[in-house]
Structure 1
Amino acid sequence: MSWIGISSKALSRLDEIEEAINYGFSGLELMSEGDQSIEIVFDKLKEIKSSFEIEITVHAPYRGVNPASPSEQKTCLRTWRKVAELSSEISDYLVLHPGRVANPNFREDHLRVSLDTFSSIREELEDLGIKGLVENLPKSKRNLGWSPSEIKEFLSLGFDLALDLGHANTHRLEEFLSLKPLEIHLHDNNGKEDEHLPLGKGTLELGILRKFKRVPWIIESRNLREGMESFDVLIELGLIG
């Protein structure tokens, strides 16, 4: 892989990134939510990037932000724009969720709204010099983007892919393997629920990572200790050196 990072969701505070770097991680993906919102930690992120010379990517907030809801579309775009402007100073990528379905009977309508939301921000991201990555979600009648067919609709707009292998493991993982992601998200589960287990504790076939060794890998663990546990598994399997 070009580098391996850890999601800030695993860190109780950003200062823990130093411990992660000393362990072997070379990057951080900021989940821009709550007290780790990019507006709050922006100066700290610039300091971290400069001090440790690590890679940083940013994941846009998804709680309370739904690009698939007509009533939330303007708020979603406003939030994404604000995050994108700051992200462009420290990151090449901004990860976006395709959204949630309020009524499964109107799934196609929600998908069209989400595609419109993504389309509305695409040129702005290009102007900022940052790539928008759509992330596949775990299988659920309430989630958009858990199937390759839906994800391909976002890719057709000019977005790239953040392939979450844990999420893909909940629905025909093999169907995602022909896609060409720019980033990989890593966590494990037993094939049915989005459990975010340490690697090796579920059914995810880790050997497929050899197919994606040219792109960044982000370990999405529940805490730093489990992130380190997953890191060790990758070493034991010879997937990282």
Structure 2
Amino acid sequence: MEKLIFVSIPWEPLINKYLPLVLEKKINIEITLNAKALDECSYLDFKNISKKLKESGIKTTVHLPFMDLSLGALDPWIRETSLRRIFLAIERSAIFEPINLVLHSGYHMDYHREVKSEWRNIFLESMDKILELAEELGLTISLENVFEPEPEFLKPVFENFKERLFWCFDPAHAKVFSEKEEMEWLGTLYFYIKEIHCHDNLGKYDDHLAIGKGKVNFKEIFEFLKEKKIKPLLVSEAHNEEDTYINMEVLSNVF
């Protein structure tokens, strides 16, 4: 399997600043969508950007919106609004013919902890609706770990949607938000892995540093995947240009 490396770029910086560089250097990108992008840009706006990327041979993935959304919300109004936002984002994403779509569940460790089982059951219902739309459009979706407490909490979700739903492993999230270390996540869920978000932190905040500037055990992660002969999509999620260039150098030498 070909090794594919991407750089995460939010929609606004992409269209306002980085698109010429992306086209010139032929950088594969993960486009991060948000409510503003979906509400202020038309179908034609998305199509025009997509055309330029495709003409340059640039591959894409898309990170679906996540701010304020909760797909397992106990409040049905919140859940319905979250689904509508994700449905619109999936329909817009299809324009790019992306290799993968990344989704957050909306689980939050502070106020869903006491209702974990109920929340997950509702989330399964929402996930089924999302996958039906994605499959209708020929798209693949990967669920990213964020605030979920441990891999065992998400494992039944992947088992329920086996060969339909995949995993976007974010080891930096596991390091700073989870009750389990990143290698425990990988050892439990590697069967479902499709993509890795590559950024580092110091173990306290979600710093989005370059690989090697923090405490995330990327060396062991990459060794594990190499032993298993797994080559997921590698996405740099560093939050500044200097760290992005560091990540691209590191990731170009993985596998």
The answer to whether TM tops 0.5 is yes
Whether the 8 Å CA contact 2:11–2:31 is kept in 1: the answer is no
Cα distance in 2, alignment partners of residues 150 and 93 from structure 1: 23
- 1:150-229 to structure 2, matched below 5 A, reads 150-158=153-161, 159-170=165-176, 171-178=180-187, 179-180=190-191, 181-207=193-219, 208-210=221-223, 211=225, 214-229=231-246
Residues 107-186 of structure 1 aligned to structure 2 (within 5 Å): 107-137=116-146, 143=147, 145-158=148-161, 159-170=165-176, 171-178=180-187, 179-180=190-191, 181-186=193-198
Residue 146 of structure 1: CA displacement?
4.2
> What is the CA–CA distance in structure 2 between the aligned matches of 1:63 and 1:22, rounded to whole Å?
31
1:93 Cα offset (Å)? 1.8
What is the Cα deviation at residue 229 of structure 1?
2.4
Alignment-mate amino acid for residue 197 of structure 2: H
Pairwise CA distance, 1:108? 2.5
Return closer, same or farther for 1:233/1:215 CA change in 2, 3 Å cut-off: closer
Residue 18 of structure 2 is matched in structure 1 by 16
- State percent identity of aligned pairs: 23
Question: Does the 8 Å contact 2:145/2:173 carry over to 1?
Answer: yes
User: Are residues 37 and 88 of structure 1, via their aligned partners in 2, closer, same or farther at CA, if it must alter by over 3 Å?
Assistant: same
Q: Residue 18 of structure 1: CA displacement?
A: 3.8
In structure 2, list runs of 5 or more residues that go unmatched.
Answer: none
- Whether contact under 8 Å (1:10, 1:221) holds in the other structure is no
Which 10-residue stretch deviates more, 208-217 or 152-161? 208-217
Query: Which of the residues 61, 65, 68 maps onto 2:69?
Result: 65
Give secondary structure in 2 for the equivalent of 1:177.
Answer: helix
Q: For residues 157 and 231 of structure 1, do their structure 2 counterparts lie closer, same or farther at Cα, with a shift above 3 Å needed?
A: same
With CA pairs under 8 Å and 6+ residues apart, which has the higher RCO, 1 or 2?
1
Alpha-carbon shift at residue 124 of structure 1 (Å) = 2.1
2:58 maps to 1:54 = yes
**Residues 126-150 of structure 1: CA deviation (Å, up to 9, x unaligned):** 111111110011xxxxx3x342112
Matching residue of 1:140: none
Give the Cα–Cα distance (whole angstroms) in 2 for the partners of residues 153 and 222 of structure 1: 32
Q: 1:80 to 1:2 in 2, by over 3 A?
A: same
Instruction: Identify unmatched segments of 5+ residues in structure 1.
Output: 138-142
Q: Between 99-108 and 154-163, report the one with greater CA deviation.
A: 99-108
Secondary structure of 2:95's match?
coil
Relative to the length of structure 1, the TM-score reads 0.83
Q: Secondary structure at the match of 1:8?
A: strand
Q: Which amino acid aligns with 1:227?
A: T
Q: Distance in 2 between matches of 1:106 and 1:82?
A: 28
| Contact in 2 for aligned 1:11/1:223 (Cα 8 Å) | no
- How far, CA to CA, are the matches of 2:134 and 2:49 in structure 1? 20
Q: Which has the higher helix share?
A: 2
- Calculate the TM-score normalised by the size of structure 2: 0.79
1:156-196 Cα distance to aligned partner (Å, 9 max, x none) = 23211111121123331111223131111100012343221
Asked if 1 retains the 8 angstrom alpha-carbon contact of 2:175 and 2:181, the reply is yes
Aligned length: 231
RMSD: 2.6
